[in-house]
Amino acid sequence: MSARRDWSPQQDTPPPAPPRSLLIRNARVLDPASGFDGIAHLGIRDGRIAELSQAEPRGEYEQTLDARNLWLLPGLVDLAARLREPGHTHKARFASEIPAAQAGGITSLVLPPDTQPVIDSPANLLRVLRLAGQTGGLKLRVLGALTQGLNGEALAELSALKAAGAIGFAQGLKPLRDLLVARRALEYARGLSLPVHVFAQDAALAAGGCAHEGPVATRLGLPPIPVAAEVAAIRAWISLVEDTGAPVHFCRLSTARGVELVQSAQRRQLPVTADVAAHQLWLCDRDIDGFNALCHVIPPLRSAEDRQALRQAVASGVIGAICSDHQPHEADAKINPFPLTEAGISGLETLLPLTLGLVQEGQLTPLAAAARLSLGPARIAGIEAGSLTPGAPADLCLLDPAPSWVLRPEHLLSAGRNTPFAGWTLQGRVRRTLLDGYPVYANAD
Amino acid sequence: MKSNLQLDARGRLRHLLSLDGLSSDLIIDILDTAEQHDKLLAGPEKKLGTLSGRTVINLFFEPSTRTRTTFELAAKRLSADVLNLQVAASSTSKGETLFDTLKTLEAMQADMFVIRHESSGAAHFFAEHAAPGVAILNAGDGRHAHPTQGLLDLFTIRRYKSLPGEATRDCFSRLSVAIVGDVLHSRVARSGIHGLRILGCQDIRVVAPPTLVPVGIKEMGVSVHHDLEAGLDGVDVVMLLRLQKERMLGAFLPSLGEFHRDYGLTRARLAKLKPEAIVMHPGPINRGVEIEGDVAYGPRSLILQQVSHGIAIRMAVMSLILGRDNGERR
């Protein structure tokens, strides 16, 4: 794999050639792959990590960067972000969202298949990658649709999707017709050695709902989504994993009981993983009070107790990845009575600071935070990322953990300004994002 | 909670969206104002000039006859110009958003919108986006709130249950009230619970099969009963809720007949209540479902009084929100 890429073919003049070698000195290096957390020097050569050492580096480097007081960790791997192209370009485009991801320290990102058209054929998958390649600067991975048009009944051509580059299969937020389809899909995907990413929500139990079933939704009169919608679905999928041995990744856990089920399955050595959206670790159902449509998300914000269980599961590793669940919207999508608004939060640029906030609160060690944002999701996605081992791609995030700053939606690079964190004081700033050794984002302020 | 959305900087009513967040003083002020209007309505000259020159638009996204009519009558008796708009859900799906609808009608110099919409939070939405000086009156939003119904229920209870010279809060604090029926889908129940609690009612009971009781309702300050006999034991007020007849479809109930047998207010059950207990219903009633026809028009029933109190309450709310400036100018 070449370190040089055609980063931005639309530009008239090519960007200046990156240095073939770079030494980052004196950073606090967080490497979840080796468990190393300490001051060290990291050398990059030809887009890959050449050495990582606490002693003076041996090699010669064209450039040196002093990273005193900064943290250096693998570039973030985001397991779920909708960049809205193709099909929903009134919400966002690759050209707006890729810079937002880079500013968030993200170097690899997994796209769900629910674009328009749905990514249910190699042609559609390749088209998405081609569109994204026009902006470049981010390693995009794609989940293929499990069923044709996400109709939940007939399998898509999963083998052909894999050949085109799909790293796994998913239904987006759409249900499967029944457990028989789910069972067949799992078996078939297992034959391809690819995981199925499952948004576990029983469609009937959740039908029409837009808020966590509990006192807040009851007082506001919002149609509820019970905890059992998630729990019953997870239980059913785990039964199928027990039958088939096929790996399942549970997306966007929201409940304490869901966490318990995943944990017990993992203890029984079942091939089950899980992620959580960063906003679920900070918000709860009380935040929708006053009909705050910016907090309208699916799965819904649950109780404070659920939130605490999710935080503990992230700390223990039962939940192996924190993702942005990025869903940028145009302003109109949120200008309606709560139940009629579109669900979702613009999350690329808050993924890292919200996770660093957990470090600041003592819920996560810096190394564990780095793991949940890079190596954990990379392993779930089955991609080469999340490691600072020599020889690994030099996908890196260099951040200053010290500064606190107030989030202003108008300052987001994402086209989606739909964030409930406006006015929040957040922790940590990305200083540099490197992709295959190439600086794709730099911020000195 | 953005309950302050409905109050101005001096704590006066700017919109009426929900009883949740209102003070007992404010609610009592509304009830007292409604008493004056009700006295006026009993006389030969029923019209006041309070809202003369003002425009009230009834904007109903859900079909309604009785509520819309009482709002219309209330506005007319205050001399406002009234426009009734029945907006089918289909016309908003043709591309014009609720926001567009609001802005278009605002441009016609309306002073107040009376809004009914099937989505919970719709009235909050309109209030958040209304121009300054434009008032929003919630005539029912989804399952969330129906505050003028709640107020007219409080008005009715106070009128028939308070002792001579008794303060409002003293009256409510000694009453036991049962709310019977489909609480899950009911904005009337939610507004009633808020209003009763704010006025100090200590014993609010919700009586329904578990499928029609929303999770977490106890945190609103009520007790939950699934047995009608026990739920009605010793109560002063029975508030029945309308049961929509399609509730069998979602497996909420086996049949209307079974609901009537277990939760319908029959003459036999009425006979077991305290002799001075009253029966209320927001209407329209389902005879033979939540109430027997004889009970609905029996001596203990205040269902028709509720309707006429509704006009006085709506006049009071409109004049408190819109008539204040006129009054100050005089």
Contact (CB<8Å) B121/A223: no
Question: Structurally, how many domains does chain B consist of?
Answer: 2
A216 touches chain B (CB under 8 A): yes
CATH class of the A21-73+394-442 domain in this structure:
mainly beta
Model confidence at A9, pLDDT cuts 50, 70, 90, reads very low
The pair of structure tokens assigned to B96 is 């014009």
| B66 is a domain residue | yes
Six-digit token string for B163:
């002792």
- B87 confidence band (pLDDT: 50, 70, 90): confident
pLDDT digits (tens, 9 = 90+) for A131-156: 999 999 999 999 999 999 999 999 99
Closest CA to A167 of A223, A111, A114, A213: A111
| Cα A23 off chain centre by | 28
> Is B309 annotated as belonging to a binding site?
no
Cβ of A223 within 8 Å of Cβ of B143? The answer is: yes
Q: State whether B87 and B162 are in the same domain.
A: no
pLDDT at A3: 41
The four Cα atoms B36, B39, B40, B42 give a dihedral, to 10 degrees, of: 160
Q: Inter-chain contact A219–B219, Cβ cutoff 8 Å?
A: yes
pLDDT band at A6 (very low <50, low <70, confident <90, very high): very low
- For residue A49, pLDDT beyond 70: yes
The reply to whether B203 and B278 lie within a common domain is yes
Q: Which residues from chain B sit within 8 angstroms of residue A217, using beta carbons?
A: 214, 216
Q: Do B145 and A332 touch (CB under 8 A)?
A: no
The confidence score (pLDDT) of residue B326 equals: 44
Decide if A219 and B98 are in contact by the 8 Å CB cutoff. no
**A-chain residues within 8 Å CB-CB of B251?**
none
Spatial distance between the Cα atoms of B292 and B9, rounded to a whole number of angstroms: 48
Q: Sign of the C-alpha dihedral, residues B300, B303, B306, B311?
A: negative
* A2-6, A344-348, B11-15, B201-205: the lowest-pLDDT one: A2-6
A221/B contact by beta carbon, under 8 A: yes
Cα distances (Å, whole numbers) of residue B119 to A31, B116, B245: 49, 9, 20
Residue A243 falls in the annotated catalytic set: no
Q: What is the CATH number of the domain that holds B52?
A: 3.40.50.1370
User: Looking at domain A75-381, which CATH architecture does it have?
Assistant: Alpha-Beta Barrel (3.20)
Our CA-based measurement puts residue A49 at a distance from the nearest CA of chain B, in whole angstroms, of: 51
The answer to whether B120 contacts A222, with C-beta atoms less than 8 Å apart, is: yes
Look at residue A148 and give its three-state secondary structure.
helix
- Write out pLDDT tens, residues B256-310: 999 999 999 999 999 999 999 999 999 899 999 999 999 999 999 999 999 999 9
Q: Which range, of A403-412, B132-141, B239-248, averages the lowest pLDDT?
A: B239-248
Q: Are residues B179 and B129 in the same domain?
A: no
Region A194-221: mean pLDDT is 97
Bridge partner list, A109: A78, A140
Mean pLDDT of chain B: 92
Is residue B86 domain-shared with residue B194, that is, in the same domain?
A: no
pLDDT of B246 reads: 75
**The predicted structure's pLDDT at residue B325:** 58
Range in A9-13, A124-128, B31-35, B137-141 the model is least confident about: A9-13
Instruction: List pLDDT tens digits, range A386-396.
Output: 999 999 999 99
Question: Residue A12 — very low, low, confident or very high, per pLDDT cuts 50/70/90?
Answer: low
Give B-chain residues touching A216 at CB under 8 angstroms. 216
In a domain, B330, yes or no: no
| pLDDT higher than threshold 60 for residue A10 | no
Residue A15: what pLDDT? Answer: 60
If you average pLDDT over residues A344-358, what whole number do you get?
Answer: 98
pLDDT, position B220: 97
Q: Are residues B123 and B218 in the same domain?
A: no
| B162 part of a folded domain | yes
- Summarize pLDDT for B55-79 with one digit per residue, the tens: 999 999 988 888 999 999 999 999 9
Edge to edge, the sheet with strand B278-280 lists B223-225, B203-207, B176-180, B237-240, B278-280
CA of A208: which chain B residue's CA is closest? Answer: B119
Domain that holds residue B114: 2-145+309-324
H and E: helices and strands count for chain A:
12, 18
Per-residue pLDDT tens over the stretch B9-62: 888 999 999 999 999 999 999 999 999 999 988 888 889 999 999 999 999 998
Which whole number is the average pLDDT over A71-89? 97
Q: Where are the domains of chain A?
A: 21-73+394-442, 75-381
**Nearest residue to B244 (alpha-carbon basis) of B194, B289, B307:** B289
| Distant-in-sequence, close-in-space partners of A410: CB < 8 Å, separation ≥ 6 | A417
Percent of chain A predicted with pLDDT > 70: 96
Residue B329: which pLDDT band, with cuts at 50, 70 and 90? very low
Q: What is the pLDDT of residues B226-245, one digit of tens each?
A: 999 999 999 999 999 999 87
**Same domain membership, residue B10 and residue B109:** yes
On the question of pLDDT at A256 being above 80, the answer is yes
User: Distance (Å, rounded) from C-alpha B255 to C-alpha B258?
Assistant: 5
A205, A216, A218, best to mutate vs chain B, most B CBs in 10 Å:
A218
pLDDT digits (tens, 9 = 90+) for A274-333: 999 999 999 999 999 999 999 999 999 999 999 999 999 999 999 999 999 999 999 999
Strand A36-45, strand A48-53: pairing: antiparallel
**B318 and B287 within one domain:** no
The pLDDT value given to residue A17: 65
In the predicted structure, residue A7 carries a pLDDT above the cut 50: no
Q: What is the mean pLDDT of residues A192-196?
A: 97
Tell me which H or E stretch contains B225.
strand B223-225
Return the DSSP state at B244.
P
Tell me the pLDDT band of A27, cut-offs 50, 70 and 90: very high
Type and span of the H or E element at B113: strand B112-117
Q: What is the pTM of this model?
A: 0.93
Whether cis (ω within 30° of 0) applies to the bond prior to A353 is no
Spatial CB neighbours of B276, under 8 Å, sequence gap ≥ 6:
B236
**Is the N-terminal amide bond of A74 cis, ω within 30° of 0?**
no
**Does any domain span residue B329?**
no
What is the number of residues in chain A?
Answer: 445
Residue A110's SS3 state is strand
Distance CA A344, CA A295 (A): 8
Confidence of residue B80 (pLDDT cuts 50, 70, 90): very high
- How far apart are the C-alpha atoms of B238 and B265, rounded to whole Å? 9
- Binned at pLDDT 50, 70 and 90, residue A2 comes out as very low
- To the nearest whole angstrom, how far is the Cα of A212 from the nearest Cα of chain B? 10
Same structural domain for residues B125 and B209? no
| N- to C-terminal Cα separation, chain A | 34
Query: What are the residues whose beta carbons fall under 8 Å from the beta carbon of A316, sequence distance 6 or more?
Result: A263
Say whether A214 and B97 touch across the interface (CB within 8 A): no
Gap between the Cα atoms of B28 and B25, Å rounded: 5
- Asked if B165 and B278 sit in the same domain, the reply is yes
Give me the residue from B99, B121, B214 closest to A338, CB to CB: B121
Specify the amino acid at residue A197: H
Same domain for B125 and B216, yes or no, is no
Q: Chain-wide mean pLDDT for chain A?
A: 95
pLDDT of residue B4: 81
Substitution target from A220, A305, A330 for chain B, most B beta carbons within 10 A: A220
**Close Cβ partners of B291 (under 8 Å, ≥ 6 residues apart):** B240, B264, B265, B279, B281, B285
Chain A closest CA to B177's CA: distance in Å? 19
Q: What is the DSSP letter of A175?
A: P
Helix axes A94-103, A122-133, angle to 10 degrees: 70
**Cβ atoms of residues B243 and B182 within 8 Å:** yes
Q: Does A305 touch chain B (CB under 8 A)?
A: no
Answer yes or no: are the C-beta atoms of B98 and A337 closer than 8 Å: yes
The distance of A148 to chain B (nearest Cα, Å) reads 28
Portion of chain A with pLDDT greater than 90, in percent? 94
pLDDT greater at residue A222 or residue B329: A222
Residue A229: pLDDT over 80 = yes
- The pLDDT value recorded for residue A5 is 46
ipTM: 0.92
Q: Are residues B292 and B214 in the same domain?
A: yes
What pLDDT shows up at residue A59? 84
Residues B112 and B246 in one domain: no
Beta strands in A213-271 (DSSP E): 224-225, 248-251
Catalytic residue (one of A114, A275, A285, A325): A325
User: Phi, psi (5° rounding) for residue A322?
Assistant: -105, 130
- B121 touches A223 (CB < 8 A): no
